[in-house]
Amino acid sequence: MKKSFIGGHLQGILSVNVRLSLCFLVLVFLLGYSTIPHAVASDNPYKKTRASADGIGKSYMGREIARVMGWQAADWLERPERMREERPDLLLAELKLKPGMVVADIGAGSGYHSRRMAEIVGAGVAPGTVYAVDVQPEMVQMLAKVAREPRYATIKPILSTADNVKLPTDSIDLAIMVDVYHELEYPLEVMRSLVGSLKPGGRVVFVEYRAEDPEVPIKELHKMSERQIRREAEVHALVWERTSNVLPWQHIVVFRKKD
C-alpha cells in the first residue's frame, strides 16, 4: 500500500513537471521562437548560393562574392596597357596625397599602386608610410622585394588574414582598395578592421569597375555599382564624401570616417 502511494506520488510529480515543461516550451514558442532564430540568423550576414563561374558561392547584401585573382596572375597587374586602360595618374590626383601621410593599399598585389603612392608620401623631411597589405603570402614576398629598393623604403608589407587587415588602430590617413573589395571573402569583418585602423576623419577609397556601364570589358561579378558600394560601406562608421568618374572604366568612391 505504501509502495503504491509513493509510486502514485512520483507519477503525480512527474506529471506536474511534464505539464510545466510543456507550458514552458509553448511560452518559448509564443514569445521567443519568432525572435531567437532570426537574431541568430542576423549574426551571419552571408548566405550560401550556387557558385557561378567567377564566384565563391557566398553572397553578401545581395551580391555574390567574386573569386580572388591568384598571385599567379600578378603579371596582369603590371601590364603596360594598364596605364591607358585605368589611368593610375588620374587616380593619384584624386587621392590628394601629401608627403608624410600614412596610407594603406589593401589588396596591394604586386605593388602597382603602392609604388606610386610611396613616391609622394615618402617625400619631405618626415617621410610617410605605405602599408602594402595582401592576404596572399606570395604577393607579400613580391612586396617585400619592392620595399628593399631605396626609393620604396617607405613601403611596409603586411600579411593580412581573410577577415582582418592587421593594421594599427587609429593610424591611417587614407586607405585604398583598387578592384579588391568585391573579392573579399569576409567584407563585413575586413571593413570593420579597416575602419578601426583609420584615424578620425581618415578616408577610405573604393575603386571598382563600373557595373552600370556594359561597355566596361570586365566580367560582371568583378564589377560593382556605386549604389552597392555605398550600401555596403555605410553599414560602418563611414560617411560618403564624393564619387569621381574621371577614370575610363572605374568608380572612385570616397568615404570619410566619422569623428
Q: Write out pLDDT tens, residues 80-121.
A: 999 999 999 999 999 999 999 999 999 999 999 999 999 999
SS3 26: helix
CA distance 88 to 248: 10
pLDDT lower than 70: segments of the chain: 1-42
CA distance 42 to 152: 44
Q: What is the pLDDT of residue 63?
A: 97
What is the domain partition of the chain in residue ranges?
Answer: 2-43, 69-257
Q: What is the pLDDT of residue 42?
A: 52
CA distance 211 to 249: 9
What's the pTM value of the predicted model, to 2 decimals? 0.82
C-alpha 219, offset from chain centre: 20
Torsion angles phi and psi, residue 5, rounded to 5: -65, -45
CATH architecture of residue range(s) 69-257 = 3-Layer(aba) Sandwich (3.40)
SS3 137: helix
